[in-house]
Chain A
């Protein structure tokens, strides 16, 4: 059974730091991997989606990489800002699966302080 793990569960950094959030999954057979952001009292927002054939995706200060063979993905946030404070979740979809097969990690709660 596919399991998705995110370490650390919480992270506090000063503003301006470059940081890396980790996501690992037990079964390398995935269709794609997605990173979401969750703000308190709000729903999840999709940040980046990496297809299984891709190695990375970039959006602004965010860069997500995927290494299927090792079952790992990282979300790199450059020059962190207080507005980046949120919980970041990764999720995978198995081959031939759709959104009804999405498997989430528990998330990393990030706090960026001024």
Chain B
């Protein structure tokens, strides 16, 4: 039972390069989320999706794009990477938006991105 899988786990980019992070979940969850985690700060929501074909902005969406072409996959793209985007990125999924003990957020292991 894989849960939420993120690829790649590590990546080093040069300023201006582009890349895509892939998140895949096998739990048939409707909702998927992308967060970033920076030292000394809590996780911040970048974008999220409430279902296949939909996306919405979170707290810190600038510089990122997302797509949800298939229910099980949520892609996070950086079109022109900047050093400020150096961070650890986490994907998560949930059955619904309702925060409850029966509907917990399931997180991936994270993707560490360094932009030089």
- Residues on A lying within 8 angstroms of B by beta carbon are 4, 9, 31-32, 34, 41-46, 49, 89, 91, 93, 97-100, 102-107
Contacts and interface: CB of A to CB of B under 8 A. Distances in A.
Interface of B: 4, 31, 33, 40-45, 48, 56, 58, 90, 92, 94, 96-101, 104-110
Given A49-B100, A93-B99, A99 B42 contact: no
A34 B45 CA distance: 16
B41 A106 contact: yes
Nearest to B40: A106
Nearest to A47: B104
Most B C-beta atoms less than 10 A away, residue of A46, A93, A97: A46
B109 A43 contact: yes
Contact of A100 (B4, B40, B48, B101): B48
Contact of B99 (A32, A43, A105): A32
25 contacts: A4-B42, A34-B99, A41-B109, A42-B109, A42-B110, A43-B92, A44-B92, A44-B107, A46-B104, A89-B42, A91-B42, A93-B99, A99-B33, A99-B48, A99-B97, A99-B105, A100-B48, A102-B43, A102-B45, A102-B105, A103-B42, A104-B43, A106-B41, A106-B42, A107-B42
